[in-house]
Amino acid sequence: MLWRSILGRLGISIVTMWVVSVLIFVGTQLLPGDIAQIMLGQTATPENTAALRAKLGLDKPPHIQYLVWLGNVALGDLGISKAGLGAGLGTPIVELLGPRVINTLRLTALVSVIAIPISLFLGLIAAMHPGTQLDRTVTFTTLSLISVIIVVSSQIIRMTRATVLNVMTSPYIEMAILKGVPRKKIILRHALLNAIGPIVNVIALNIAWLVGGAVVVEVIFAYPGLAKLMVEAVLLRDLPLVQACAMIFCATYVVLIFIADMASILSNPRLRHPK
């Protein structure tokens, strides 16, 4: 049953990536401008533009272009930058992506390392003292954080509190309370383990949101990350680079959601052994 669940989630992830690849390809094809004319600049003429389009394979039907692109991506070949972005015309996209991906991951990791532990701690504190002044303070602070766009911490705090309190109503928890086990020990040793699935889900979604939301931060503060590279590629109509960046963002979402699903399955016996 466990392997069937894992393979099922893996199949869904692969189908999702394929569907998104179609949407990305179609979306980039709808962008205005001709990459061949952009590459040639002022030297563009109908003749040399047509020759360059043929060299780049842009004269082929869209479905043929898609299959060629998808096959190359599956083999790890993301193509070359065709608009002179970064180190210059003809630069392999992998070389452009390397340092930008590292910068974006560094930014995301920094925020996650700060936000996630604090959020889990506050959520558990609120669950340990439901209905008290401390709980109301944490709840009020959470709502205040949401109002100023600090969504990551707020969602994790609220999900941690709600999920743990929901588990605390289970019969085995009530039995532990009747036996006199301290509430803190019950939450940390029993309730949290059974509540970890939904919490990991919301953490994974928020990390994925951080990666995607980096577009705003990187553009406003001129931070040399992957999102800023993608914006620059769109402006220059560097379609292969736009497609590569979009696929990386999509793959990040899919991988994080897959990890969250696995955490839910492994932490919940009812999901590991469905009836």
Q: Does residue 70 lie in a domain region? A: no
Q: Does residue 188 lie in a domain region? A: yes
Mean of per-residue pLDDT scores for the chain: 80
E strand or H helix at 72: helix 62-74
Q: Say how far apart CA 138 and CA 255 lie, in whole Å.
A: 31
Q: State the residue range of the domain holding 157.
A: 2-32+78-272
The per-residue pLDDT for 104 is 86
pLDDT tens digits, one per residue of 116-127: 888 888 888 888
How many domains, the chain? 1
Give the count of beta carbons closer than 10 Å to the beta carbon of residue 134.
14
Q: Does residue 65 lie in a domain region? A: no
pLDDT tens digits, one per residue of 20-34: 899 988 887 777 766
CATH number at residue 127: 1.10.3720
Q: Say how far apart CA 99 and CA 96 lie, in whole Å.
A: 7
pLDDT tens digits, one per residue of 210-258: 776 677 778 788 888 888 888 888 877 788 888 888 888 888 888 888 8
